[in-house]
Amino acid sequence: MNENLFGGLYKLLAKNQLKELKDELSDMAYPDIADFIMDLDDDKLAVKIFRILSKDISADVFAYLEPDRQSVIVQSITDSEIGRLMDDLFLDDAVDFLEEVPANIVRRVLANTDKETRDLINRFLKYPENSAGSVMTIEMVELHDRLTVAEAIKSIRRTGVDKETIYTCYVIDDKRHLVGTLPLRRLLLNEEDTRITDIMTDDEQLVFVKTMDDQEEVAALAKKYDLLSVPVVDTEDRLVGIITIDDIVDIIEEEATEDFEKMASLLPSEDGYLKTSVFSHAKNRIGWLLILLITSTFTGQIIEGFEMQLATIAGLTACIPMLMGTGGNSGNQASTLIIRGLALGEIKMKDFFKVLWKELRVSLIVGVILGIANYLRMLGVRLLTGDNVTDSVILVVSLSVVAVVIVSKTIGCTLPILAKALKLDPALMAGPVITTLVDAISLLVYFGFANLLISM
Amino acid sequence: MNENLFGGLYKLLAKNQLKELKDELSDMAYPDIADFIMDLDDDKLAVKIFRILSKDISADVFAYLEPDRQSVIVQSITDSEIGRLMDDLFLDDAVDFLEEVPANIVRRVLANTDKETRDLINRFLKYPENSAGSVMTIEMVELHDRLTVAEAIKSIRRTGVDKETIYTCYVIDDKRHLVGTLPLRRLLLNEEDTRITDIMTDDEQLVFVKTMDDQEEVAALAKKYDLLSVPVVDTEDRLVGIITIDDIVDIIEEEATEDFEKMASLLPSEDGYLKTSVFSHAKNRIGWLLILLITSTFTGQIIEGFEMQLATIAGLTACIPMLMGTGGNSGNQASTLIIRGLALGEIKMKDFFKVLWKELRVSLIVGVILGIANYLRMLGVRLLTGDNVTDSVILVVSLSVVAVVIVSKTIGCTLPILAKALKLDPALMAGPVITTLVDAISLLVYFGFANLLISM
């Protein structure tokens, strides 16, 4: 969908040729129609366009709209229109929408849905955030374990229209226990009189989650087993829903975004950057900054204890930012690799000593190269500026660089794994936390070397 | 798959009960069998287990193995076994494998495949890394535009077994031009004599990529349109392959990992953390650390120019780490949000002024709160430690905190968008680059306030 086509739509809108506009829109993909409705500056216009959409696609388009526009639309349509909209929406989309809009809209919407849907929605709204239950949908294909291939295909043809996916079918027994899964592909490529229990995936190969499992677990299983949907069972192993791959892709993006945010000392935000208010942005950022400001008192105290030497030995103070920067960046490199490795399941707790041994060797190589580079740099600066930095100061700073790299990489790889061991989120042990710790240790190392090597 | 089950497998292996082991394995899912083979310490044992797998699943399991074990296996099996393995592998898995193993193995493998496959593989190996061509597969369902629903289903039943997915079919004309897509679902739910051109998705709704498009583009389309596979066409719009959702999920993870690495001033690595050698790790890390070390000469110079005041006014030096830390963290928060927003397509270039205006307001709130907190903190420290930091120094430091937060958030939101405008990767403008810039500016601001407000 290119911008030019939106141009054409705007033209029709300007001329008020609604009939032609409706025709144009009905040829477009749902996400593109939603993009156009989101692109409109005026809420009233957005409602007007939404209402000219033909009835059979309006719910599909609605599911792709942002919550603010969804609210506006629901506030502007009639009760019976709301009823039909809620009927046509997949349950997971309806729940997504109701989770985001104000309470008065939720009340009005629920008042206009039939009792069955209302009860379902209420149950879904009660699942904890980020649980499998909160993201699942109930529109799956269930097949009874008595059926043959031909009967199963007939049943799918009859009921499939309203299902979110028909590509993986779920086989249940009389008590609704999940007993197997059956890809539509396998149904189609088998003989008509084959019993589905003979070709379904069962036992050890059966992959599922419980309603209260974390959505991260769902994403991990779908990735590992290349699934198009993951079944969800209740505490008694009865099938209650499925999570489809399009929602799993969203979960993967969401979890990565959360890690990015945590690693930059931000509280995770519910909405995207532009949708989040200035006040929420400030709230998400202030916490960690305050903590880091207060803990910086320690580095301040370390420097104050060394203030006399800093004041009398030329060049010592000037190198503090470089040392702290090198330490922070080195530690951050290590922690980022470990946090990501843990998140992707590539690094396990039992690999700790392997990781530590690797980091020690890497930091030795990197530290020595940086130390030599720093030695040459400071010699160069002295040559160019004629400052009175002594050879011993240059030596102290360069040795400190080596030590700081080693220390910071060790801390950087240890903290995330330690956090995981303590059932904390490894992503919280990223940049800022490590930097603060590394800052203090770097200064102690630096001043230690200075005391040892420079005759006072 | 739990660890206990592996325990059972190891037991059978120890007793050399290969028949029972084979039966156990054949009940397991391919990724789990691959996990078990990867879990074995000994290469010879791994080959032995791989060879007892029944012929119809060995290629499926092979595709889930890591490259190092794949190499070992290929080196240990006969030429005819290699030939069959390559025949059974999906083309994209075969190419993935050949991209990772040493050249001598590639030669031996290609020598044992038929000419047609060899030519195909050679063509695939030539696509640039991360292009759509390099990740696509050719095992898709193509339907001629003359077919009816019944004929199409028959054709799928006949040819579907070897296709990577049959859930989205691609409609082509006589010249192999892609003219439409058709979900299997729509085929099944329509009347048998319907012409497929009447129910396929075409024209404006047709979503596809070109072979040379970046894989990021593929992921973005799949996410936006909730696709199970994305078709790939050549420069003349002829269908040449598809990219399936399981590979798209991998692309999404890969791109996120790359951004994490770039934002932590690392060169992106090919393999996971544990697979990467110490030397490669060092090489990926040293570049940015060297650059940042050298640019820190500027902050050093700024401090040297102010060395006299720092030596005589108590408390000024001690606050340098806190100020630089606050600046770095504030800038990092802003840049992370913007980089992620750009990556997810939520923030566009045209939003720059909206973003800037938001960051200015956020940084004012955050800056003022932090400034006040710092004022109280320094008063508290003076009370507790009895240091001789004057009121004017406390005022200078607190005002600097406010200014540094505002400056660093402005830089943090501007640089990634600027990078995007210059067609550079926004993720390169993260933490370390911003910290270095912010460090220098923070010091200038700090010393500026100090000169203004403290009577020398």
Q: Enter the tokens of residue B52.
A: 């007892």
User: Would residue A273 count as lying in a domain?
Assistant: no
Q: B365 vs chain A: nearest CA distance in angstroms?
A: 7
d(CA B379, CA B374): 8
When divided into structural domains, chain B yields a total of: 3
CB B426 within 8 A of CB B416: yes
Residue spans of alpha helices (H) in A27-136: 30-39, 43-52, 55-64, 67-76, 79-88, 91-100, 103-111, 115-126, 132-135
Cβ neighbour number for residue A438 with a 10 Å cutoff:
27
Q: Are A78 and A179 members of one domain?
A: no
User: Would residue A84 count as lying in a domain?
Assistant: yes
* Domain end marker among B244, B265, B296: B244
User: Searching chain B, which residue's CA lies closest to the CA of residue A34?
Assistant: B224
User: Would residue A132 count as lying in a domain?
Assistant: no
Q: Enter the tokens of residue A267.
A: 């509280």
Q: Are A399 and A308 members of one domain?
A: yes
Laid out side by side, the sheet with B142-144 consists of: B142-144, B168-172, B178-183
d(CA B445, CA B439): 10
Question: Quick one: pLDDT at residue A455?
Answer: 58
Looking at residue A311, which CATH number applies to its domain?
1.10.357.20
d(CA B168, CA B182): 6
Q: Are A178 and A289 members of one domain?
A: no
Q: Are A37 and A119 members of one domain?
A: yes
User: Which of A281, A304, A366 lies at the smallest CB-CB distance from B289?
Assistant: A366
User: Would residue A131 count as lying in a domain?
Assistant: no
Among A258, A279, A285, pick the best mutation site for testing chain B contact (most B Cβ within 10 A). A285
Asked if A281's CB is within 8 angstroms of B303's CB, the reply is no
Q: Enter the tokens of residue A366.
A: 């990197």
User: Searching chain B, which residue's CA lies closest to the CA of residue A433?
Assistant: B329
Element (H, E) at B20: helix B18-26
Query: pLDDT tens-digit profile of B289-345?
Result: 888 878 888 888 888 888 777 777 777 888 888 888 888 888 888 888 888 888 877
User: Would residue A439 count as lying in a domain?
Assistant: yes
Name every chain B residue with its beta carbon within 8 A of the beta carbon of A248.
Answer: 249
User: Would residue B268 count as lying in a domain?
Assistant: no
Q: Where are any strands of DSSP class E within B234-287?
A: 239-244
Residue B235 class from Cβ within 10 Å (0-12 exposed, 13-18 middle, 19+ buried)? exposed
Q: B123 vs chain A: nearest CA distance in angstroms?
A: 26
Question: Quick one: pLDDT at residue B4?
Answer: 58
d(CA A440, CA A448): 12
Q: Supply the ipTM of this predicted assembly.
A: 0.78
Q: Are A285 and A406 members of one domain?
A: yes
d(CA B378, CA B370): 12
Residue window 78-117, chain A: list those with CB within 8 Å of chain B. none
Looking at residue B183, which CATH number applies to its domain?
3.10.580.10
Q: Work out the average pLDDT over B167-183.
A: 90
Q: Are A414 and A297 members of one domain?
A: yes
Q: Are B168 and B80 members of one domain?
A: no
Q: A224 vs chain B: nearest CA distance in angstroms?
A: 7
Please say whether the dihedral angle defined by the alpha carbons of residues A234, A240, A245 and A251, taken in this order, is positive or negative.
Answer: negative
User: Would residue B252 count as lying in a domain?
Assistant: no
d(CA A222, CA A208): 10
Q: Are A233 and A297 members of one domain?
A: no
Q: Are A251 and A314 members of one domain?
A: no
pLDDT above 80 for B42: yes
Asked if A401's CB is within 8 angstroms of B264's CB, the reply is no
Hey, is the C-beta of A288 within 8 angstroms of any chain B C-beta?
Answer: yes
CB B429 within 8 A of CB B418: yes
Q: Are A33 and A121 members of one domain?
A: yes
Q: Which domain range does residue A103 map to?
A: 3-126
* Domain end marker among B227, B244, B261: B244
Residue with tokens 């078990």: B36
Among B304, B306, B356, B429, pick the best mutation site for testing chain A contact (most A Cβ within 10 A). B304
Q: A51 vs chain B: nearest CA distance in angstroms?
A: 21
Residue window 321-360, chain A: list those with CB within 8 Å of chain B. 321-322, 324-326, 328-330, 332-333, 335-341, 344, 346-347, 351, 354-355, 358
Among B329, B359, B383, pick the best mutation site for testing chain A contact (most A Cβ within 10 A). B329
Among A137, A324, A447, pick the best mutation site for testing chain B contact (most B Cβ within 10 A). A324
User: Would residue A266 count as lying in a domain?
Assistant: no
Hey, is the C-beta of B218 within 8 angstroms of any chain A C-beta?
Answer: no
Query: pLDDT tens-digit profile of B417-438?
Result: 888 888 887 777 776 778 788 8
Name every chain B residue with its beta carbon within 8 A of the beta carbon of A315.
Answer: 304
Q: A83 vs chain B: nearest CA distance in angstroms?
A: 26
Q: Are B163 and B224 members of one domain?
A: yes
User: Searching chain A, which residue's CA lies closest to the CA of residue B385?
Assistant: A301
Residue window 292-311, chain A: list those with CB within 8 Å of chain B. 292-294, 296-297, 299-301, 303-304, 307, 310-311
Asked if A282's CB is within 8 angstroms of B204's CB, the reply is no
Which residues face B148 on adjacent strands?
B195
Residue window 148-207, chain A: list those with CB within 8 Å of chain B. 153, 156-157, 160-161, 166-167, 184-185, 188-189, 201, 203-205, 207
User: Cα torsion at A252, A255, A258, A260 (round to 10°)?
Assistant: -60
d(CA A178, CA A180): 6
Q: Are A189 and A59 members of one domain?
A: no
Interface contacts (A, B; CB < 8 Å): 362
Tens digits of pLDDT across chain A (456 residues): 445 568 888 888 888 888 888 888 888 888 889 989 988 888 888 898 898 888 888 888 998 998 888 888 888 888 888 888 888 888 888 888 888 888 888 888 888 888 888 888 888 888 888 889 888 888 889 999 899 999 998 888 888 777 888 888 999 998 889 999 998 888 888 888 899 988 888 877 889 999 899 998 999 899 888 889 999 998 888 898 899 998 999 898 888 888 777 777 767 777 777 777 878 777 877 878 788 878 888 888 888 888 777 777 777 888 888 888 888 888 888 888 888 888 877 888 888 888 889 889 988 998 999 999 999 988 888 888 877 778 888 888 899 999 999 998 998 888 888 888 888 877 777 767 787 888 888 888 888 888 887 755
Question: Quick one: pLDDT at residue B2?
Answer: 47
Looking at residue B81, which CATH number applies to its domain?
1.25.60.10
Q: Enter the tokens of residue A403.
A: 């030590």
